[in-house]
Structure 1
Amino acid sequence: MSSPLFRLGRFAARHPWRAIGAWVLAAVVVITASAAVGRDLEDTFEAPDSTPSAPSSCCPPPVRATPV
């Protein structure tokens, strides 16, 4: 495993602009594929067989600092 990583690191050190170009190309491919195949992001979460509840009374309310 160390030999391929060593060769990859040596290539990146000897050809930094090619390595940067490869990273940029990979990022463009991933972003394009995500836009083409992916779906819209969701910000909701629902657990099955659960009901919403009020915060439990196990913890005291947070202490608020009072101005001096």
Structure 2
Amino acid sequence: MKRFISLITVFSIVVTSMFSIVTAETNTYKTFYVSVDGNDANDGQSRAGAFKTLERAQEEVRKYNTQM
């Protein structure tokens, strides 16, 4: 009887741990800034270093997406 209870306990722990394992999902994202006062030569990764045009930001997003 003790062996049966031990087996049930171990089985319960294994099943519970299988459902509680959560795979870590890495959410990688980047923020690009665009400003009328910006410069397309900037990196676009801060307000101070914002791009001037949306087209330049789109180029950078396309580069970033192909690296994923």
TM over 0.5: no
TM-score (norm 1): 0.31
TM-score (norm 2): 0.31
Q: Which has the higher contact order (CA 8 A, sep 6+)?
A: 2
